[in-house]
Structure 1
């Protein structure tokens, strides 16, 4: 009996302690009965400042009073001092550790701006009263760490929700329940590590989701399966390692406008079944890419891509693969709608294969890809090509018979190569300048031993391959044949000697032409002198 009584007393004490503890944790409500001292009402906008509830043990409760005056006959009433906020309510230089209670109860507010208010805690009933007309809610740059179930219950007409720049670590599956009108959700720059599997299921009107600059590592499949209007998703600058194949698929017909997965350094493989207009996966660690479905624009620059597969490439129009580890592009030889292809800064890239067919291609960027020859066979499959960049390679010459193929270009960037001056002069005088093609010049180096022809650097040297048509016999007849050069690698001194020999031969040829022109001029002058002598011998002057 004594033991039982002791247990009952102990239980009662425990309950009392718990009640006392909870009483200590529950903040005191501080009533705010008027906005007159802190707010300025201007038309459809109210700006408030000076509210300071920066203690954990106090929370503001807005119990705004409306003074009503009854008419003398008692038939009706009128509101006295009706200056209550409508439209936008903006808090500046205010602090609310706890989101205030009953804030919207007696106000007709469509936009609530509480950015940078130091908010740390939100209750489940924060928007339960008076939030029916709320359309825009800005809670950016606060100190929120978690959002519980139905945190925005009661704001059924909310369309734009800004929660960026907080410290949110976790979300519940039902956090956004009831927001069926929500179109825009911004969670950028938080500390989210995972997303509950069906967190967006109740957001039937959702169009834009911004989840960039968090700590997410994975995205589950069918995350947006119940968002038929989804338009844009941003997940850049996270810690993504694994993406489920159908993570961003919304039915068979729906088409996502843009998906940004850039700046995820742990992402090594991209395997997606996706219908989207624009996909950006820049600056990750991708080495293999498999894209199924339909994508129009793809940017995979600044990765380590070696393998690339587009099983269904019929809709692909824009592809950027700059600064990767590509070796070949056999999977892109037949992309019927491709208009823009950028594979610059892939130093090990093999020449484009023959049989290339991209009839709509307008721009091809082969800058700094280790090319030694212009891929003329592949260019024949690009009848609409207008901009070609082959700068930063090791090209020395272009066969003049290819000039008709290149004359359709409007921009031809060929600087920073190893041009032979004989060939470059022909290119400039017979292709670039006559057709008005735009080009970029080299930066002038005063110590460069060669020459600049119309701003492009080159060296006078004998051709290492079969000499091109148009060279004189003096240029092609040298003491060293091309076959001998291929048999043994010449020394640096031998290369220099041959280059000097080529320069001398070039100027000798120029000098021979000048002497020939002078001889022709001398012959003409001699003929004129003989004619004058004959005329004066036959003319008689009479005075």
Structure 2
């Protein structure tokens, strides 16, 4: 045992003393180098991982790596790389991971090692792929070439990559994709933030295992045809799609996540055929009504930033699994009583920036968050909220409230976050009882400022000494305790609490 320890000590000591200049040798087979101008020549042949970053190495050649036969992982980040000589990596027979990020490469390095499994070339200046680029890379699983200069792409170039599972080509400015490649194991394809307008009819039929497809930020005018049945998640946000037809989605039996936000949708009746959807985002479109029938398994539905002026009971029928519903910024003037009676698991409801004049009646008892910011609500009655025993977040900011009944707050035993700022509060003695109750409950509150009466206008009513002095008759029994709590409240209400739209609507409260 002692001999082993001595041997290891000498071994590590030898490794550290021979560590190249401007490099760190934290372990015998891992070296990290910074701000170097050439590949170090005194690196051991059995080195396993080499990381080089923030350097000035403009050119690579065969001699740079000819002695590193055991290298398995090579990372060259922000190193000024412009050219790589043919056969530079020929000696690296065991190389599995190669990352050349944020450099100045204009083409794919030639003659890459056949055992390569991961190739990442993001943030370079690669403008085209050539047929020989990926020849022999039958073990490649991950290929990432985002944020380069690929204007056009012939998909046939990927044909040798029979084991490819992840392909990322976002942010290239591509106008067209021609050709096809049979990639039986591809599961994740990212073509976001390009300029693609269409896909040929049979393009996706050659990707039979595709599960995640990212096409956001393009110029598509319709849902791509013949999408594979294996698809689980489809992102089409920020395109120019005007309608969703049943035939576009009928074959997607496994699809659970669909994002169509930021298009030009006028109609979305075809959504009903995607029967296994659990998450649907159609925000930032031009929809004036909800589809006649939505998938019954939906758990998250985002219809914000559309033109839906009213929600009726029939609109939400059958959505028993719904947990999160967003109806913000719709100009909504009518929300029918008990419109959500079918939503027996609804936890979060957001209806900010609409034209509602009252809290909708008959909201589900399961609600934990209710956001009514930016409406025209001038009163909240006990009958509006008394059944919401699980409510933890209530947002009523920027409405027309002048007062609020303390019985409303007493009826919400689990309330922890209350947003009341932006209302024209009339800071009469009635509010004193409300603020005492809030302090006793320990509620995190954004209270807002007094609009009336003139003597306390502009003061925050949770910490207004003027209001306290004017209402001594209300504090005769608890005057000292109230004043002590108010001093604390001046500190606690001044903290930065959860802001306007920072709610995590996926969190379980």
Q: TM-score, normalised by structure 1?
A: 0.63
Shift of 1:123: 4.3
Shift of 1:151: 2.7
Aligned alpha-carbon RMSD (Å):
3.9
Q: Which of the numbers 291, 294, 300 marks the counterpart of 1:292?
A: 294
> Aligned ranges for residues 247-286 of structure 1 at < 5 Å?
247-248=248-249, 251-252=252-253, 254-256=254-256, 258-264=257-263, 266-271=264-269, 272-273=271-272, 274=274, 275-286=276-287
Residue number in structure 2 paired with 1:216: 220
Shift of 1:444: 7.9
Residue number in structure 2 paired with 1:89: 98
Retained in 2: the 8 A contact 1:351–1:375?
A: no
Are residue 426 (structure 1) and residue 433 (structure 2) matched? yes
Are residue 438 (structure 1) and residue 444 (structure 2) matched? yes
Shift of 1:133: 0.9
Residue number in structure 2 paired with 1:534: none
> Aligned ranges for residues 393-472 of structure 1 at < 5 Å?
393-399=399-405, 402=408, 404-420=410-426, 421-429=428-436, 431-442=437-448, 449-450=455-456, 452=459, 454-455=461-462
State the distance in 1 between where 2:205 and 2:434 align. 62
Mean Cα deviation higher: 139-148 or 112-121: 112-121
Q: Deviations over 1:401-455 (max 9, x none)?
A: 55542344233333333334132123223x3233333321325899965354743
Shift of 1:51: 6.2
Q: Which of the numbers 51, 73, 89 marks the counterpart of 1:45?
A: 73
> Aligned ranges for residues 162-177 of structure 1 at < 5 Å?
162-172=168-178, 175=180, 177=181
Larger Rg: 1
Retained in 1: the 8 A contact 2:417–2:445?
A: yes
Structure with greater strand percent: 1
State the distance in 1 between where 2:67 and 2:282 align. 47
Unpaired runs of 5+ residues, structure 2, are 1-59, 477-509
State the distance in 2 between where 1:454 and 1:96 align. 63
Retained in 2: the 8 A contact 1:194–1:216?
A: yes
Q: TM-score, normalised by structure 2?
A: 0.67
Retained in 1: the 8 A contact 2:375–2:399?
A: yes
Are residue 320 (structure 1) and residue 318 (structure 2) matched? no
Retained in 2: the 8 A contact 1:419–1:457?
A: no
Are residue 133 (structure 1) and residue 136 (structure 2) matched? no
Residue number in structure 2 paired with 1:306: 309
Q: Deviations over 1:236-266 (max 9, x none)?
A: 22222222245445555x351x3332333x3
> 1:449 and 1:283, CA in 2 relative to 1: closer, same or farther beyond 3 A?
farther
Shift of 1:136: 1.5
Are residue 196 (structure 1) and residue 203 (structure 2) matched? no
Residue number in structure 2 paired with 1:187: 191
Retained in 1: the 8 A contact 2:213–2:233?
A: yes
State the distance in 2 between where 1:446 and 1:374 align. 19
State the distance in 2 between where 1:148 and 1:382 align. 57
State the distance in 1 between where 2:183 and 2:281 align. 29
Shift of 1:213: 1.7
Retained in 2: the 8 A contact 1:40–1:47?
A: no
Shift of 1:212: 1.7
Are residue 112 (structure 1) and residue 119 (structure 2) matched? yes
Retained in 1: the 8 A contact 2:382–2:407?
A: no
Shift of 1:201: 2.5
Retained in 2: the 8 A contact 1:111–1:136?
A: yes
State the distance in 1 between where 2:364 and 2:372 align. 15
> 1:389 and 1:164, CA in 2 relative to 1: closer, same or farther beyond 3 A?
closer
